[in-house]
Structure 1
């Protein structure tokens, strides 16, 4: 395995920012929010809007590679719609953006971690571990 021992400062800063943002985004609970809002008795946890808003800010505050801009935009747009629906307290209106942000989060996270692995000289190992929890279509 070839590792980046001395990346240039711009590459290192971008990678560090992406890692910080992804760590925050990946722990925001998008899977649980989607499952709760799409379940038989949907409810809204009062903390969700704040978690969604902070994840959106974390994503928007970082410099991402051009190749990830479409995924970033899809995530931040869906997160904005979800936060607004959660603020309204409308479980039905929040269920669609919850599903959208859940899917957008997975796409952004997977592609960004793969990008970081590639730029670090680490080949993709295995599949998207921990992401086998989707609803059946």
Structure 2
């Protein structure tokens, strides 16, 4: 690896580390330290699809309904989701995110925003414009 590529590697590794620290801060603020990437993915799926039932979530995540039920029960204990009975059909339950669940589901986006804030605090206007222009070239 050339010296320039090695330097780029170190710089990006540092940015990724900062983003990871920001994510950890968000999880810590939510009182959760042992959540898995897979669980975050399930919360994101619930967040993205809105009105999601157990059957629909099973289909979206390619899991069985018993697996989804077990997962939702765990999320309820973690205070990330709650069940809401369908007003038209009492047999159907929707899985809804609590505020805590939403914060976790959106942690990746929030941590990126925190990294951007740190960059904005560290760079002047001209440096930010230059960074935008340079990164815009990467495809």
Task: Tell whether the structures are fold-level matches, with TM greater than 0.5.
Answer: no
Bigger relative contact order, structure 1 or 2 (CA pairs below 8 A, ≥6 apart): 1
Band the TM-score falls in, shorter-chain normalisation: 0.3 to 0.5
Larger radius of gyration: 2
Give TM-score scaled by structure 2 length: 0.33
Give TM-score scaled by structure 1 length: 0.33
Q: Which has the higher strand share?
A: 2
